[in-house]
Structure 1
């Protein structure tokens, strides 16, 4: 609708700083990806690779799901009640629920 047709507020669009923050949060939430459900075969494959790597102290590459991008860790897995990856930068704790893929290096 044009301003000539009686809509005097059409030309007065502005966004308050408070609304801008809410809009950016809303857009960030919309752009966040959803985790894909793994099949039983994929879960068994991940478990097999990790158990073999822990037993043989072999290096693995683990991919973890992230809301705004996946995270890849490469190192030797250690299991002491929790799964940890010993990388060149230190020891990283791994949330097993976020695992997408595990492969031997």
Structure 2
């Protein structure tokens, strides 16, 4: 049996499974990423037309969907739901998107 090793630092933006390169597993079925943020980091308001997004707050406190969330929170965002992100403290998230849909991020003014 062969063994292959990867490092998250070599992945783009923490995404390591999905329909992109590099990836540990290339698939269009879903995406998985581990995202680290510093307090004050933000993502612009956006939505996905195709993908459902599931976020697990591994550590820290964040604001999504106009609410504060802490460690252990699981947030499910359905396609078409507008969301913005802010790290209220240093935070680590695990994010799953179903499916892995290229170019499925639409910014909102």
Structure with greater helix percent: 1
Structure with greater strand percent: 2
Greater RCO (Cα-Cα under 8 Å, separation 6 or more): 2
| TM-score, structure 1 normalization | 0.24
Higher Rg: 1
| TM-score, structure 2 normalization | 0.23
